[in-house]
Structure 1
Amino acid sequence: MVSVQLAKSDSQIIECFPVMFQLRLHLEQAKFIEQVRYQMKEGYQLAFLQVDGLTIAVAGFRVSTCLSLGKFLYIDDLVVEELKRSQGYGQQLFQWLIEYAKNHNCKYLSLDSGVQRFQAHRFYLIQNMNITSHHFAMEL
């Protein structure tokens, strides 16, 4: 059975770590709950897709508002367990995020993706996302 839910408890948050670590290699398991809880105070949420009780895909996101878009859902993190990719789990979680955004009156869904993540870009284009801008950054 496939289910998507929001991580609320510490045990649900830590269950997301092994999958999230595949995207965010700098994370430390010992600090993961604390980091997620801190971000939750700023509106971050962690959704996870489970199949028969095993976490297969994870998405970190937040709902925000800005002058250019109005209300939108921003996906910070979206990752599927490496051995389960290309089996439709990413699409199921992505569709859940779209429905969540619609149910919360968001006008847009957006994300940034590293320029080297070609498979992810292919996935986003298949999901009917458009490349709408270049993202610029500077380490301080």
Structure 2
Amino acid sequence: MLTENVIEMTTCDDIIKTFPIMKQLRTHLDRDTYVALVEEAMADDQYRLVALFDNDKMVAVVGFKPMITLYYGRFVWVCDLVTDNASRSNGYGEKLLTYVEEWARAHSYEKVALSSGLQRTEAHRFYEKKMGYDKASYVFKKELK
């Protein structure tokens, strides 16, 4: 019997429910900042927040948004993808990333892209070996004070 369910999280209460899992990836955020950023991204940037539930327990979360750039053309950017620490290695990340890929195809986007911290070597193996992603570039950032 299928016990997994993918649900788009759209309300403030939904966003709050995703915070304990997202906090495992975005450790620098407090709950109020997280909620404010997600709500702003949803309103201004077409950000979508989706959770995977197994037996009614949230086990993984993905945030993504459609984009258009000259480099990638029409694509979907995966902003955040995290599986609850207690639920890793059960295929949940694969299910959510596949969900994003299917969403992208259904909405006529040509690619899915993401960045991953240099220290996250296990995640890199997952993206390359399991999911078939190619390393395309380095991402650079600069803090503006």
TM-score, normalised by the number of residues in structure 1? 0.95
1:84, CA displacement in angstroms? 0.6
> How many percent identity over aligned positions?
35
Which stretches of structure 1, 4 residues or more, deviate above 4 A after TM superposition? none
1:1-140 matches, within 5 Å, as 1-41=3-43, 42-125=45-128, 126-140=130-144
Looking at structure 2, the residues matched to 23 and 52 of structure 1 have their Cα atoms a distance apart, in angstroms, of 23
* Amino acid in the other structure paired with 2:62: A
- What's the Cα RMSD here? 1.0
Structure 1 distance, partners of 2:94, 2:67, is 23
Q: Distance in 2 between matches of 1:28 and 1:34?
A: 10
What is the letter of the counterpart of residue 99 of structure 2? Answer: W
Shift of 1:67: 1.1
What amino acid is aligned across from residue 41 of structure 2 in structure 1?
Q
The 1-side partners of 2:4 and 2:35 are apart by 24
TM (normalized to structure 2)? 0.92
Amino acid at match of 2:92: Y
Q: Which deviates more, 99-108 or 32-41?
A: 32-41
- Measured in 2, the distance between the counterparts of 1:108 and 1:132 equals 12
Shift of 1:39: 1.1
Query: Can you list the C-alpha shifts for 1:35-88, whole angstroms capped at 9, x where unaligned?
Result: 211111221111110112211100111001111121100000000001111111
Alpha-carbon distance between aligned partners in 2 of 1:32 and 1:133, rounded to the nearest angstrom: 27
SS of structure 1 residue aligned to 2:5: strand
C-alpha displacement of 1:101: 0.7
User: Please, which runs of 5 or more residues in structure 1 have no aligned partner?
Assistant: none
Deviation at 1:32, TM superposition (A): 2.6
For structure 2, list consecutive stretches of 5 or more residues without a partner in the other structure: none
Number of aligned residues = 140
